Amino acid sequence: MTETIGQISLSGSFTLPGTSMTVNRMGYGAMQLAGRDGNKLVWGPPKDVEAAVAVLREAVARGVNHIDTADFYGPHLTNQIIRKALSPYPDDLVIVTKVSARRGTDGSWIPAFSREDLTVAVHENLRNLGLDALDVVNLRGMFNIHEPAEGSIEAPVTVLAELQQKGLIRHIGLSNVTAAQIAEAQRIAPIVCVQNQYNLAHRADDDLIDDLARDGVAYVPFFPLGGFSPLQSAALSDVAALLEAKPMQVALAWLLQRSPNILLIPGTSSIAHLHENLKAATLQIPDGVLADLNAIGRRQPSQ
């Protein structure tokens, strides 16, 4: 166990700007703990709740102290599983959640930007996680559900800032947003992290990552392994064979080496897969090999 905690520490740590929250760069995303009901993704309970509890406990035991979640996963059930598995929470554990979406009965993802929607969402996260205050709340852009799209977020960020002043939220982040929206939000409240889709093949945020790194703001790529369409590349497989690692471990290690402000939140419902992901923290990709990996994003434009 101590060895694995040491392995995670090899990826380094990051302190969210303006906070005392320092997290290991290898974290855990809880989305996959929810179940699936036909075509409804991230819906209902997992097949085995106790197995989901075991994965969370193993992640924390192995040194993970950054968990990403949302109360619209399930909905509600993922946060309830986190509470069951980990409450009372370790002092160094940082739980980051998201708001501004709700689920339709058909499993759809519905924008929920209103003052009432956001206030209800914050209170639901508090209740289901069993917390008095949320460490970080990310406002998720919903102008385009699948990728960032322009549109003012001044009103919803203002609501979160007011809830922060009331002590219900400690810090504010953003998800699925553009550079212009980040700048707009920063005029209202300090932003500690940005969470967008980014991986070896989806590289639209290259410049944004560098800009955030200069400002000391964390960048948290969602779908770091491709999400519902896992990364597939002959070049990635070739590098993995050269390094005697699995392709997904190489993809995670590439992200860790991409920029020191990148925090990883790969998700899984399997302890074996969790261990594989965590081992990526020990993988060093030689400079001579990085060019082959960097070219993947040019050969496979983002969808």
Q: Write out pLDDT tens, residues 20-53.
A: 999 999 999 999 999 999 889 999 999 999 999 9
Largest CA distance in the chain: 53
156: left (phi over 0), alpha (psi -120 to 50) or beta: alpha
- The DSSP string of 14-69 is EEPTTSS-EEESB-EE-GGGS--BTTBSSBS--S-HHHHHHHHHHHHHTT--EEE-
- CA dist., res. 283 & res. 252, Å (int): 9
**pTM of the complete model:** 0.94
Percent of the chain whose predicted confidence (pLDDT) is above 70: 93
Sequence-separated (6 or more) residues with CB below 8 Å from residue 13:
22, 23, 24, 25
| Average model confidence (pLDDT) across the chain | 93
CATH number of the 2-299 domain: 3.20.20.100
* Model pLDDT, residue 226: 77
Q: Is 301's pLDDT higher than 50?
A: no
Confidence of residue 153 (pLDDT cuts 50, 70, 90): very high
- Using an 8 Å Cβ cutoff, are 13 and 206 in contact? no
- CA dist., res. 183 & res. 73, Å (int): 28
Q: Is 292's pLDDT higher than 50?
A: yes
Q: Is 184's pLDDT higher than 50?
A: yes
Average pLDDT of the segment spanning 213-239: 85
Q: Is 232's pLDDT higher than 80?
A: no
- Using an 8 Å Cβ cutoff, are 269 and 224 in contact? no
- Catalytic pick among 28, 73, 89, 219: 73
List residues bridging with 68 in a β-sheet.
29, 96
- CA dist., res. 153 & res. 156, Å (int): 6
Q: Let me know the angle formed at the C-alpha of 271 by 268 and 275, rounded to the nearest 5 degrees.
A: 90
Average pLDDT of the segment spanning 151-168: 98
Average pLDDT of the segment spanning 205-228: 92
Confidence of residue 300 (pLDDT cuts 50, 70, 90): very low
* Model pLDDT, residue 181: 98
* Model pLDDT, residue 6: 60
Sequence spans of domains, the chain: 2-299
Average pLDDT of the segment spanning 165-192: 98
Confidence of residue 227 (pLDDT cuts 50, 70, 90): low
* Model pLDDT, residue 231: 72
Q: Is 260's pLDDT higher than 90?
A: yes
Q: Is 298's pLDDT higher than 90?
A: no
Is 28 part of the annotated catalytic residue set?
no
Q: Is 194's pLDDT higher than 60?
A: yes
Q: Which two tokens stand for residue 25?
A: 């760069």
- CA dist., res. 42 & res. 31, Å (int): 7
Burial class (CB in 10 A: 0-12, 13-18, 19+), 55: buried
Closest to 274 in 3D by CA, of 61, 74, 15: 61
For 61-118, what is each residue's pLDDT tens digit? Answer: 999 999 999 999 999 999 999 999 999 999 999 999 999 999 999 999 999 999 999 9
